[in-house]
Amino acid sequence: MTVANGLVNSSNSTENSTDELEYGRWISLQDVQTIPFDVDYFWSAFDDYLSLLKSFSGRQDVKSETGFGIPLDGPGAIVRFDFKGSVVRDRLLINDRVNHVWKMDIPEATPLFTLYHVTFSAREVTGGTEVKINVDFVLQSENRQERADALKTLKEFLPKRISEIIKFLKEKNTPKDSSVPVTESEIRHLVAEFYSKLDAHAPVDEYAQFFAFDEEDFLMQFPSETLHSWEDFKQWYDSSVNLYFDEIHQLKEINATPNGNHTDVKAIVHWEGSLWKAPTSHSKRIIADAHHTWVVKRCSQTLKPVFKSYVVHKLDLANGSPQVEAPVKVSTAI
């Protein structure tokens, strides 16, 4: 087995051979990537089988096959397309939206493959979602060079698929104007990106994209402090990163309600952070669930979701957790 750039290649045979181009050999490829998206947001790409397969490069004249009891979507659905001058049919087998597993195969052999199975799976991890693609197949041609060409083609296309799905999601969820309310999936994505940067203590300039700082009634409020501008945010952030470290922000609950051109949100966020003050010999670990309300709207320039209001109402401290300490403001010139 070899691993390169996230691509895992292995082959199995009843014979003691390591030749992946041996005729009739089962070959397995795997691509694994961690992406900064909520798992449910990523999995929404699999809601429409035909639209998903249309987003993959290398395919022409992609369309659903219907009739003879073939469903338009869901298990058993078949999408037909032209690939490298040949007609290929992909058949959906499973779309498990709970466990995030999606499987398809080809119902008949193609000029490239005798057998062909694809499995997508996703799981939530720190910083986003881990996505795996497993492709298991048997090359069709009896000609060794043709088998080599087919394997090379598959290895070229496989690493592109996850980025193509991300592009598809962005295009699918991009509204035409800023009056369209932000969806829960978009909010989850916004929150995942924001908290990923918070946990990494990213440079402060990377946060401007998440907030409507140009709105006159912008509000960001914590139990100990209220912010109304980008300058307020920079001072608060400089203070916070000098006080807390090894932070964890995880969205536990969310309730999103569209309200005109924005979305009102109630959320519970699990937060952990360590702090140390001289001359104590040990740091302290604060663990709490924070109750939030947010107002999320679309940026008029980019149409991307941004926080117009971000309010932390209270903290439910875990048993034994020390009290939260308010950041001490430091000069942004330091």
Distances (CA, A) of 250 to 42, 47, 199, 265, 268: 17, 25, 10, 16, 9
More confident residue, 72 or 91: 91
8, 29 Cβ separation under 8 angstroms? yes
Chain mean pLDDT for the chain: 87
Question: pLDDT (tens digit, 9 = 90+) per residue, 99-119?
Answer: 999 999 999 999 889 999 999
The pLDDT of residue 88: 93
> What gap in Å lies between CA 142 and CA 69, rounded to an integer?
35
List, in order of start, the domains of the chain with CATH numbers: 2-172 (3.30.530.20), 180-317 (3.10.450.50)
Question: pLDDT (tens digit, 9 = 90+) per residue, 291-312?
Answer: 999 999 998 888 889 999 999 9
> What gap in Å lies between CA 197 and CA 200, rounded to an integer?
5
In the chain, the percentage of residues whose pLDDT exceeds 70 is 91
pTM of the model: 0.55
